[in-house]
Amino acid sequence: MLATFEDIKAIYRNDPAARNIEFLLYPGLWAITFHRLNHFLYRLGVPFVPRFFSEIVRFFTGLEIHPGATIGKGFFVDHGMGVVIGETTIIGDNCVIFHNVTLGGTGKHQGKRHPTIGHNVFIGTGATLLGPIVVGDNVKIGANSFVVMRDVPSDCTVAGTPAKIIIRDGMRVEEDLPRTKEPATAA
C-alpha cells in the first residue's frame, strides 16, 4: 500500500546523485508513499479524506497527484516540483517523470479524461500530455514536448512542439503522431 521496495530501487536506478539513505528526503518518494495510501482510501469510497491528504502532500512536496490516479511500481519523480497527475491517469511500472510534467485533461472528455502511460516510460521536464491518450511501453518523451494530445506508439521517442516521433524502433525518423479520435462536441 505504501511506497514499495521497487519505488526505492527506482530512485537508485534513475538518480546517480542518490547516496546512503538520502532517498528518505526525496519529495517524489513522499508523494508516492502518501498517494498509495490516498488511492487505497479513494478506492474504498472514503469521502473528502483522500483529497484533503493529497492537498497536504502537494503543499509539502510540490507534486499534485489526484487520489484516483493509478500508479504502478517502480515509479520515480526527479525534482518533482510542478508535477500534476489527473484523476483518471494510469501509469505503468518503472516510469520516470521529471519536474513540471502535466498529465491532465482537456475539459472536453467525460469518464476517462487523462493519459494512460505504459511501462518503462520516461517523460522529460515540462512535457504536457493531455486527454485520454495512450502512451505505449518503452517510450521517451522529450523535455518540453508540448502538447501531446495523440496516442504515442510503443518503442519510440517523441520530442518537439508540436510533438513528433523522432525515433521509432531504434531508427531515426520524423513523423507526426497518429491521429487520435477526438471527442464529440455538443452542438
Q: What is the pLDDT of residues 61-114, one digit of tens each?
A: 999 999 999 999 999 999 889 999 999 999 999 999 999 999 999 989 999 999
Q: What is the pLDDT of residues 116-171, one digit of tens each?
A: 999 999 999 999 999 999 999 999 999 998 778 899 999 999 999 888 999 999 89
- Would you say residue 183 has pLDDT above 70? no
Higher pLDDT, 65 or 22: 65
Between the two ends of the chain, the Cα-to-Cα distance in Å is 44
Return phi, psi of residue 117, to 5°.
-110, 130
pLDDT bracket for residue 1 (50, 70, 90) = low
User: In the structure grid, which three cell numbers stand for residue 165, read together?
Assistant: 516521433
pLDDT bracket for residue 22 (50, 70, 90) = confident
Return phi, psi of residue 157, to 5°.
-120, 135
Q: What is the pLDDT of residue 159?
A: 94
Q: Tell me the HSE value of 110 on the side-chain side, using a 13 A CA sphere.
A: 3
Q: What is the pLDDT of residue 23?
A: 87
- CATH topology for 5-176? UDP N-Acetylglucosamine Acyltransferase; domain 1 (2.160.10)
Measure the CA–CA gap between 52 and 38, rounded to whole angstroms: 9
CB distance 81 to 51 below 8 Å: no
Q: What is the pLDDT of residue 182?
A: 56
- Would you say residue 184 has pLDDT above 60? no
pLDDT bracket for residue 10 (50, 70, 90) = very high
Q: What is the pLDDT of residue 30?
A: 95
User: In the structure grid, which three cell numbers stand for residue 73, read together?
Assistant: 511500481
Strand positions, DSSP E, 93-187: 96-98, 102-104, 116-117, 122-123, 128-130, 134-135, 140-141, 156-159, 164-168, 171-176
Q: Which distant-in-sequence residues (6+ apart) come within 8 Å of 40 by Cβ?
A: 1
